[in-house]
Amino acid sequence: MKFQKILSIGVLGTAMIAGGANAEVRDIRIGVDVPYEPMEYRTPDGELTGFDIELGNALCAEIGIQCEWVVQGWDGIIPGLQARKYDAIMSSMTINEQRREQVLFSDPYITPPSAWFAPMDAEIGTPSDETLEGLTIGVQRGTLQDNYVTDMYGDVAEVNRYATADDMVLDMDSGRLDAVFLDFPIGKSTLLESEAGEYKVVGEKITEPVEYFGEGFGIAFRQRDQELAAAFNEALATLKENGTYDEIYAEYFGD
Amino acid sequence: MEALMNWLEAQLADNSIFTLQTLGYYGEGLVTTVQLVFLSLIIGLVLAVPLAIGRGSRHAWLRLPIFFYCYVFRGTPLLVQLYLIYYGVVFVEGIQDTWLWLILEKPFVPALIAFTLNTAAYTTEIFRGAIKSTPRGEIEAARAYGMSWGLMMRRIVLPSAFRRALPAYGNEVIFMLHASAIASVVTIMDLTGAARFVYARFYAPFDAFLFVAAIYLCLTFAIIYFFRHLEKRLLAHLKPASG
């Protein structure tokens, strides 16, 4: 305890000295836990890629700094930031209050979308109480998608809850389900890609309301690195404006 | 009724897990579980009586298929049987276009089929043992009276066999109730399905599962009581004579 206190004072002191010397934002290292497709994973030849990696690199380029990626297991990813093994975390980290006490978050850069999937020949309009009435909808038990569908459409539609996404896809194939509500990337790989031509996305991708889908993913910094966070927020706003963000988004979350 | 609901709502006012909604899930789950278990036991019982008689037949063409059926259904986990029937039927080409799909589309009937076939296999074996242990003297006496095989079965063998099978069959009924807990893997919202839903929703494993365990205990108690009552009536002749 005492040792920790001494250490933290020491770290604080060093940081104050360093902060004084560097008004400009310096080159940084970013911690990431792989794999978590499609956000961060390795290509067959071992290169890091994914939505986080590409967006992170684009942000660094926009700020005009060099960024180096450091792979770190999820358990130690916040301690690693505090211990200065890297200066930021960009690893599909959901913004929440507990984490806010530990780290400083950037603005949310993405809320992972969920989407409705239905057989190609199904005639379901934009999902609503009327269009889903009497249909059988599949969800994975206990997921945020389950909570959302149960609360929004539990009264008008029949909700079938599955232990795994595989069981659900099987029942979708057999015709027992009229639609499923899934994490978009999972649905994309299991329904749109591996059974090409059989299924389609119905309606818009869904990322709201916050009480179900969360505040989204943020880049985490140490509490005192406010300038760094501000620089990333600014760059993020620019990329969203000039279309770079949409390009990267479409690459990983496009239909 | 409305006063009752208001009272219940007041009782549950500061309870975030057991709301009227979740209690409703438990209530529907109870109905589904009881329906599923009761129907499968009744149909299984009706199937098991002729099967048990056939199982002890002298003719191999009758005895062996029944033996094989019992062996398969007692020799594989009920969960596997349920998976095979629910997901397996899907792979029959073109089944979606036949009338069969109307009853197999929803998970209830596939689960009912799996449970019925399973309990029928066990019950067949229970009855077979009871039939086989009919005292020889009773059979010889029936023959001496000139009873036909059918009459002997109806009047002598089956009535005493049912009585002997009763305690073992009571066990099977309780096992079946507990085995029905796996119905939720094929999306049926039975009691366990409701508990799993509440658990996943509120991250409260103890509350969700202790509550459902208490409901199962009540059901089991009712079954035990029912069978004790039956045994008292039907097995009265086996009680030690009191002075």
Which residues of A fall within a CB distance of 8 Å from B194?
A: none
Q: In what order do the strands lie in the sheet with A179-183?
A: A158-162, A136-140, A179-183, A114-119, A199-206
Calculate the alpha carbon distances from B52 to A72, B117, B119 in Å. 64, 14, 13
- Start-end of CATH 3.40.190.10 domains in chain A: 2-111+215-253, 114-213
A184's tokens? 């978009």
Say if domain A114-213 classifies as CATH 3.30.160.20.
no
Phi-psi sector, A197: left (phi>0), alpha (psi -120 to 50), beta: left
Rounded to a whole number, what is the distance in Å from the CA of A176 to chain B's nearest CA?
6
A21's tokens? 């010397």
Q: Could you read off the pLDDT of B180-200 as tens digits, one per residue?
A: 999 988 999 999 999 998 888
A175/B185 CB distance under 8 A: no
A71/A105 Cα distance (integer angstroms): 19
Helices (H), A41-139: 51-63, 77-82, 97-100
From B94, which residue of chain A is nearest by alpha-carbon distance?
A174
Rounded to a whole number, what is the distance in Å from the CA of B33 to chain A's nearest CA?
17
Q: Label residue A4 by pLDDT band (50, 70, 90).
A: low
Tell whether ipTM is more than 0.90. no
Residue A24 has a pLDDT of 66
Mutation to test the A interface, candidates B86, B102, B187, B196, most A Cβ within 10 Å: B187
B197/A161 CB distance under 8 A: yes
Residue A105 has a pLDDT of 96
pTM above 0.90, yes or no: no
CATH code at B27-233: 1.10.3720.10
Please report, for chain B, the start and end positions of each structural domain, with discontinuous segments joined by +. 27-233
Residue ranges of chain B whose CB lies within 8 Å of a chain A CB: 87, 90, 96, 101, 105-107, 185, 187, 189, 193, 196-197, 199-201
Rounded to a whole number, what is the distance in Å from the CA of A97 to chain B's nearest CA?
18
Q: Could you read off the pLDDT of A168-197 as tens digits, one per residue?
A: 888 998 889 999 999 888 888 888 888 778
CATH code at A2-111+215-253: 3.40.190.10
